[in-house]
Chain A
Amino acid sequence: MITGQGIVKTFKQRGNILGSREVRALRGVDFAIPKGGAASFIGESGCGKTTLGRIIAGLESYDEGELVIGDTAMSELKHKQRQPHFRKIQLIHQDPYSALNPTRTIHQTLHAPLSLRAKQTGRSKKWIEERAAEVLSLVGLDAGTVLARYPHQLSGGMRQRVVIARALTVDPEMLVADEAVSMIDVSLRLGILALLKDLRERLGVSVLFITHDVATARYIGGDGELYVIYRGQVVERGPVDTVIADPVHPYTQSLLSAIPVLHGLEQPGEQPVVPLEPLDQLLDDTGCLFTGRCPFRGERCAGERPLLQVTEGVPQEHACFYPERRSVIARPLSEV
């Protein structure tokens, strides 16, 4: 179980003589990812989802709040003591081209973390070789053909599999996949997604999936929770299928309305929500963060910030004063 409570992160941008600017990347985010479970963070770029993923993987600090891995609160530990905890959480980047050292063969890439583990646990050299072959077979690669190669000799899909294999060398409890398939060819994407799903089922590794593509989130973590993040705040949270089928927050509705409709196979939703064009001056920090772009804003929205809450008749949590179900997603023609 990995939980976060009220995580706040502010980046200070070096400014000019008039002072520096602060970017509030996360404004008090709560989350919980059960062991072996799945969660998906979705939102536009700049919403803070990647920062949150990096904090969870231990690559970024946070200013307020608490991150708890297992039973241990991270803020109580010194840097060195945290490391074994964060080792259980491995990050899979978007770009498998830059995530692998181009001057090292796959063998060398996998050997480094494995030999460290062998040293720590007193295992033999033979174990290293066996384990390297094992993690490669877990990700669907053949050790014989891959080990001696350099990253540039592999396709994008194979490279991403190697990155996942490398993450598995340390027996992680959770994989944080940050846009892990967006740079992979379309016909190969589903293969990588199926692999992550398979690792969840077979090894009990939990998966945190960070993406702007809601449908892929559904594929990997269909039984988990979906967190919709806007400007550093979770605006809607609930079981994946509930949030997709019956979103109540206008931002979630805008995101889902923007997904291309496969005309010929699908019929668009009846009430698509198109957000207003953001004007810089409207992006202030009082009130609801989405007010400036919200087509349904009401009286309370400008002066008061809605917090994530449960209201009657809505199964998921949401941060909107005027939650309302709207039919936004496309449905297959076969169902209409």
Chain B
Amino acid sequence: MPEQAPGVRIDGLTVVYKTAAGELPAVRDISLTLEPGTITGIVGESGSGKSTLALSLLNAVQPPGRIAAGSVEIDGLGDVVGLRGEELRKARGRHVGYVFQAAQNSLNPLKTVGKQLLDLGRSHGVEDLRGLVREAKELLGRMGLDGARVLDSHQHELSGGMRQRVGIMLALVLNAHLVVLDEPTTALDMITQANILKIVREVHAERGLTTLVITHDIGVVAEVADRLAVMYGGRLVEQGPTREVLGAPSHPYTRGLIKAIPRLVGDIDEAQALPGRPPTLTSVPDQGCVFRDRCPLRMDVCDTVDPAAVPLGSRIVACHAVNVKEHA
């Protein structure tokens, strides 16, 4: 078991879904490195492929989807794309903790949290179940909950914020050091969201984790992540240190997204909507840039050639217009 934060290297990952129109890529040729001990945030709209990418970390893409190409190397585990059966099952939970989108719906409504915890322990062959319960109580206490009471509760007795914390506890209790949080604060109130994000940051630091946060909300990433990766139409269009990307976004999509957020001070009319709408699995163009229909910087080359992800200083950007400008 790794006692340190593992690094993750995703290389050329492509995930396709089988549809009536043939196999369509939900995630296309994505390369992303999670440095050990960092929090990376992936931002994207619905259909951008962000959840599919996160599931690939567990090699848990369900049919009709499959990983068609690429690799996901996790320190201490190797390439998870090659893992099968028992090996894969054991890796999940032990090495990679996953907090599912809407943790409120991922708990069993018929069992108390404690019983589900014991199930988790047994299925992973934990011998010291008492120790597991102790660890769970400690984690819950750390997150500001009364551990004993929560373990005795059914999910309907817990509030949204409490369930989300239970989800985080279940992801960490087997001592995983790589944690994926899929939309950790969607459907939570502002104050609860702020609480959860604070907990994510603190637990990340205290336990020495590598964390991946998937969200549609740039604000969430801005609060917690060291690095930010922006997905659009199955492609990673920009990645870099969060503050830099937010302060001076390079890709026209990132720029548009940030501009579309109404703020609390300043001229409210500066907020501008992005024209058009995001592509779906079936409407993603099969050649050229995925963003060109909504892009203010569109050039002829964008129609035919998919821009490669090119390093630009501390960032990686996939845009013809940005690259032309940089090299001019």
Binding site for B on A (CB under 8 A): 44-45, 155-158, 185-191, 193-194, 212-216, 218-219, 222, 244-245, 254-266, 274-275, 277, 329-333, 335
Q: How far is the CA of A254 from the CA of B194 in the complex (A)?
A: 10
Contacting pair A259 B264 (CB below 8 A): yes
Contacting pair A264 B222 (CB below 8 A): yes
Residues of chain B contacted by A260 (CB below 8 angstroms): 193-194, 197, 217, 219-220, 222-223
Closest residue of chain A to B220 (Cβ to Cβ) is A260
B273 at the interface (CB under 8 A from A): yes
Residues of chain B contacted by A214 (CB below 8 angstroms): 264
Contacting pair A191 B45 (CB below 8 A): no
Residues of chain A contacted by B194 (CB below 8 angstroms): 257-258, 260, 274
Contacting pair A212 B245 (CB below 8 A): no
Residue in A44, A187, A264, A333 whose CB lies within 8 Å of B245: A264
Q: How far is the CA of A26 from the CA of B245 in the complex (A)?
A: 44
Residues of chain A contacted by B61 (CB below 8 angstroms): none
Q: B164 CB to closest chain A CB, in angstroms?
A: 14
Q: B46 CB to closest chain A CB, in angstroms?
A: 6
Contacting pair B268 A186 (CB below 8 A): no
Residue in B191, B220, B222, B246 whose CB lies within 8 Å of A255: B191
Q: How far is the CA of A145 from the CA of B190 in the complex (A)?
A: 38
Contacting pair A157 B219 (CB below 8 A): no
Closest residue of chain A to B259 (Cβ to Cβ) is A190
B311 at the interface (CB under 8 A from A): no
Q: Kindly identify, within residues 245 to 294 of chain B, every residue whose CB is under 8 Å from any CB belonging to chain A.
A: 245-247, 256-258, 260-266, 268, 271-274, 277-278, 280
B181 at the interface (CB under 8 A from A): no
Q: B180 CB to closest chain A CB, in angstroms?
A: 20
Q: A274 CB to closest chain B CB, in angstroms?
A: 8
Residues of chain A contacted by B271 (CB below 8 angstroms): 190, 219
Contacting pair B258 A265 (CB below 8 A): yes
14 residue pairs from A and B, CB less than 8 Å apart: A45-B189, A155-B277, A186-B257, A187-B256, A187-B277, A222-B268, A254-B191, A258-B190, A259-B219, A260-B217, A260-B219, A260-B222, A264-B245, A329-B264
Residues of chain A contacted by B217 (CB below 8 angstroms): 186, 260
Q: How far is the CA of A212 from the CA of B197 in the complex (A)?
A: 17
Residues of chain B contacted by A263 (CB below 8 angstroms): 222-223, 242-243, 246
